[in-house]
Chains A and B, each alone.
Chain A
Amino acid sequence: MSAQEWVALVFLIAGCFFYLAGTIGLLRFGDVHSRLHALTKADNLGLMLVCASLAVLAANWRITALLVLTWLLGLLAATVSAHLIARHARRVEK
């Protein structure tokens, strides 16, 4: 395996680790809001690392730009949906 593939592999494994940790947090944390912390932040980092891994493998500026765009859209979806779920949960609890 080339050095490039090794770097990509490390990023990919790290990304999967954060997805796994986020899911464990989702299962272990006790309330809706704490669970959202685990989902948004750990998955954001997981997606970032998976995208970084693919960018290293592709070694192409256009694909890298698309991966950055993918990550930003993922972030936007995560943060907006987390806010909406958190708001709903809080208003129902009241």
Chain B
Amino acid sequence: MAASDVGKRSISNRQRLVWIGQTFVLLALTWLALNGLDGWWLGLLAASIGSVAGGLLASGQPHPWRPHRLLGFAGFFLVESFKGGVDVAWRALRLDLPINPEFHRYRIDLPEGQPRTLMISVISLLPGTLSADLSDDGEELVVHTLMPGAMASVERLDARIRRLFSLDSPEANNE
């Protein structure tokens, strides 16, 4: 086995541990919100089992996120979903119904696992875009848009997700 393989594996194990830690914190906070401090030890136990099981059983490579960038992503998401709701409400209420539906293909460069899943889920909540289909190899996304120019927000989302998960910047993309 080459030395670089060993190095890669230890990085991936460290990532897995970080991911388990982050999931543990989220699960423990969810318990705290649902149940307060009653039975906190049971909550800690459940959060530990849940995060370790997730870390070991989840398919693909776990991608830890940057906690300080999650806030920025949440802000981006709030603003965009607000714009998306206002935009579609305005279009639904206008008498001339200004919609111009189209399908676009978008090549996903994000790695499999959370980054890709997050991308496909959030696209439907951005202004004017809806993730309509995924090719069988999972590499190409079909996006339904309500008006011309809506695809620009998909590219901004791509960049946001890369920042959240500290991934490399995108290469050639898109059609």
Contact = CB atoms under 8 A, between A and B. Distances in A.
Nearest to B86: A45
A42 B130 contact: no
Interface in A9-67: 17-18, 21-22, 24-25, 28-29, 31, 33-34, 36-38, 40-42, 44-46, 48, 62, 65-66
Nearest to A17: B89
A86 B132 contact: yes
Q: Give the interface size bracket for B toward A.
A: 35 or more
A38 B121 CA distance: 16
Contact of A79 (B29, B88, B91, B124): B124
Q: Give the interface size bracket for A toward B.
A: 35 or more
B154 interface: no
A31 B32 CA distance: 43
A45 B93 contact: no
B144 A33 contact: yes
A7 interface: no
Contact of A40 (B29, B93, B125): B125
Q: Most chain-A CB neighbours within 10 Å: which of B97, B120, B125?
A: B125
Q: Most chain-B CB neighbours within 10 Å: which of A41, A75, A83?
A: A41
Contacts of A62: 33, 36
Contact of A41 (B30, B101, B125, B142): B125
10 closest A-B pairs by beta carbon, nearest first, are A45-B85, A25-B92, A21-B89, A65-B33, A86-B132, A41-B84, A33-B144, A41-B88, A79-B124, A79-B121
Interface of A: 17-18, 21-22, 24-25, 28-29, 31, 33-34, 36-38, 40-42, 44-46, 48, 62, 65-66, 69, 75-76, 78-80, 82-83, 86-87, 90-91
